[in-house]
Amino acid sequence: MNYARTALLLAGLTALFVGAGFLLGGEAGMAIALLFAIGMNAFAYWNADKMVLRMYGAREVDRRSAPDLVGMVEQLAHNAGLPMPKVYVVDSDQPNAFATGRNPENAAVAATTGLLRRLSHEEVAGVMAHELAHVRNRDTLIMTITATIAGALGMLANFALFFGGNRNNPLGLIGTLLVMFLAPVAAALVQMAISRTREYEADRVGAEICGRPLWLASALEKLERGAGAIDNDQAEANPATAHMFIVNPLHARSVDGLFSTHPNTANRVQRLREMAGAGRAQSGPWG
């Protein structure tokens, strides 16, 4: 169901983009917008992971510099049937983590120093399993595509604002105004809906990878409290990357509604506890 919903949302986002291009420039405008989006997606496909890691000042670690973390990720990756990803540490007191990379063969997982200090070994394992679930599900690529299309829609809206768009489109001035004001909002809503859907799925698969849903549930509760009390200056300066983190790194708290990039933490914890109560994912490599 989650995969079907994600596919429908991606299709809707693509249709929204193509429709906006048509309303602004007719068939020629639609073709130009599509070519521009393809170019942006190609650039993001090859470079988004490097840009994000550089943005957060992430430093790569190995068995000599972080033996416990790297060994843990290696064991979890093996359990998930994944190649060993690169492992990074971000110098931030806020406990949080994210994954990036265009595919499992070119993936990276990153944890903040605050996460490594504040969480137990088992809770860190739950978080890293969640991030590896994103890698296995190819969520990093999905979110790159949605962010790129959403960004392209924002550029189309700016074009309509400054140049007026194509008044001869079937909807006339109304069509231009729709692109100018509503298309970016609709794109953001779709992007957030996809992000929330993928987080729930990564929780489920991550719990199966580590074998203990309650480890991830406990970690999420600590992460939620930490993220609400401790600033993440890099994330606040780059809010478009907030959806990458396991919990919202921004201080603008929101409920599990239209404008939230992450599901409500209490809802996520409840689902994980239900998994544990049903006896699912209880025999992982850490048990």
Secondary structure of the chain in the HEC alphabet?
Answer: CHHHHHHHHHHHHHHHHHHHHHHHHHHHHHHHHHHHHHHHHHHHHHHHHHHHHHHCCCEEECCCCCHHHHHHHHHHHHHHCCCCCEEEEECCCCCCEEEEECCHHHEEEEEEHHHHHHCCHHHHHHHHHHHHHHHHCCHHHHHHHHHHHHHHHHHHHHHHHHHCCCCCCCCHHHHHHHHHHHHHHHHHHHHHHHHHHHHHHHHHHHHHHHCCHHHHHHHHHHHHHHHHHCCCHHHHHCHHHHHHECCCCCCCCCCCCCCCCCCCHHHHHHHHHHHHHCCCCCCCCCC
Of 43-47, 149-153, 176-180, 227-231, which range is least confident?
176-180
* Closest to 135 in 3D by CA, of 85, 70, 178, 188: 85
Active site residue 131: yes
pLDDT of residue 222: 97
* Closest to 204 in 3D by CA, of 122, 135, 133, 270: 133
Contacts of residue 260, Cβ cutoff 8 Å, sequence gap at least 6? 192, 196, 248, 254
The fraction of the chain above a pLDDT of 90, given in percent, is: 45
Cα–Cα separations (whole angstroms), residue 14 to 10, 17, 18, 53, 191: 6, 5, 6, 27, 11
Q: Could you tell me whether strands 107-112 and 59-61 are parallel, antiparallel, or unpaired per DSSP bridges?
A: unpaired
Greater pLDDT, 169 or 223 = 223
pLDDT of residue 274: 95
pLDDT of residue 255: 44
At residue 106 the predicted structure's pLDDT band, cuts being 50, 70 and 90, is: very high
At residue 134 the predicted structure's pLDDT band, cuts being 50, 70 and 90, is: very high
Which phi and psi (to 5°) does residue 64 adopt?
Answer: -80, -40
Check: CB of residue 102 under 8 Å from CB of residue 69.
no
Which range, 5-14, 93-102, 229-238, is most confident?
93-102
pLDDT tens digits for range 174-208: 555 555 556 656 656 666 666 777 899 999 999 99
At residue 1 the predicted structure's pLDDT band, cuts being 50, 70 and 90, is: very low
Query: What are the domain boundaries of the chain?
Result: 47-141+181-277
pLDDT at 214 over 80: yes
Which range, 163-167, 224-228, 278-282, is most confident?
224-228
pLDDT at 52 over 70: yes
pLDDT of residue 251: 74
pTM: 0.79
Residue 146 CA, distance from chain mean position: 10
* Closest to 14 in 3D by CA, of 140, 162, 131, 152: 152
The fraction of the chain above a pLDDT of 70, given in percent, is: 63
Check: CB of residue 101 under 8 Å from CB of residue 49.
yes
pLDDT of residue 45: 72
Of 148-152, 196-200, 242-246, which range is least confident?
148-152
At residue 98 the predicted structure's pLDDT band, cuts being 50, 70 and 90, is: very high
Mean pLDDT of the chain: 80
Cα–Cα separations (whole angstroms), residue 178 to 3, 21, 30, 35, 127: 29, 12, 16, 22, 41
pLDDT at 227 over 50: yes
Please give the average per-residue pLDDT across 143-160, as a whole number: 64
Task: Write down the CATH number for the domain with range 47-141+181-277.
Answer: 3.30.2010.10
Q: How far apart are CA 66 and CA 89, in angstroms?
A: 9
Greater pLDDT, 12 or 171 = 12
The token pair that represents 2 in the structure block: 């989650």
* Closest to 96 in 3D by CA, of 229, 267, 259: 229
Which phi and psi (to 5°) does residue 167 adopt?
Answer: -75, -10
Of 52-61, 92-101, 137-146, 217-226, which range is least confident?
137-146
| Catalytic residue from among 123, 131, 208, 224 | 131
pLDDT of residue 39: 75
Please give the average per-residue pLDDT across 62-71, as a whole number: 97
